[in-house]
Amino acid sequence: MSFSYSISASLALAAGLAVSTVAFAASPEPAAPAPALPAGADRVTNAVAEFAGIDKITGRIITFDVYIDETVQFGALQVTPRVCYSRPQAEAPKTDSFVEVDEIKALEAALDGYRVAPLADLAPWAQVFITATGRAGVLPASAIAAMQDGAVLANSGHFPWEIDTEGMRAMTTGSTDLDGTLQRLDLANGRHVILVADGRMFNLAGSEPKGNSIESMDIGFMLQALSLERVVKGATGERPAPGAQPVPDDINQRIARLMMATMGAAL
């Protein structure tokens, strides 16, 4: 399924799956050629587009439908689909995929039905690449040079060093600013790529950035403050043992009651 859409801000993809490099792909698995299709049957126009994103609070993958030209908000993501096409059933399926260095996380992704493969295999195959690692250079210039024409590159990690933008620009012969957030870079090999927000964290650096909702910030700061107080004082005046500590149930429950009160809700 392919989309044409405008993004005001994007959901930060990270925490839940703890992926090292994410390639959200929209290219077919290698497969036998699809049967010949009748003229005009190369794509299907849909009135509703379907999106999926990782909720960075719960770590769950949320799927939601949006009517064409309707604007919806999902966390920090605001999306307005302009057109949505799907391919005929006779064509090979398209899927999302992950590049992962942690064996456990790679297995989780594979068991969830995602393709898991090295970046060298996915670079010429995927159409959209989203990094969410916090590590420098996970999408190097060598991989960018192998990408197909029109590949989209975006970073959702916290720092602007995951995509090797310096190495990529060294390979470019020209660039075009598309809308202030999207930039087309023409490569010396004759292909081009689209860079989102200059490789910076695109839910903060994109068009009309929104970042986290005020509600999630409220909860986060309360969790931090009350948890630090508990670490210092302990539940009965004694400090807890050294090491990582789960947030105690009574703190979670207290925060839930306080937040519900500010929202006019009650048990």
> Is residue 170 packed enough to be buried (19+ CB in 10 Å), middle (13-18) or exposed (0-12)?
exposed
At 234, the pLDDT band (50, 70, 90 cuts) reads confident
- Do the strands 172-177 and 182-187 form a parallel or antiparallel pair, or are they unpaired? antiparallel
pLDDT of residue 22: 40
Per the CATH hierarchy, to which homologous superfamily does domain 2-205 belong?
Answer: NAD(P)-binding Rossmann-like Domain (3.40.50.720)
pLDDT at residue 41 is higher than 50: no
Whole-number Å distance between alpha carbons of 102 and 15: 14
pLDDT of residue 151: 93
Q: Which of 94, 112, 95, 121 is nearest to 16 (CA)?
A: 112
Q: Which of 179, 182, 4, 1 is nearest to 82 (CA)?
A: 4
| Per-position DSSP letters for 118-146, written without gaps between them | -HHHHTTT-SEEEE-SS-TTSB-HHHHHT
Give domain limits for the chain: 2-205, 214-262
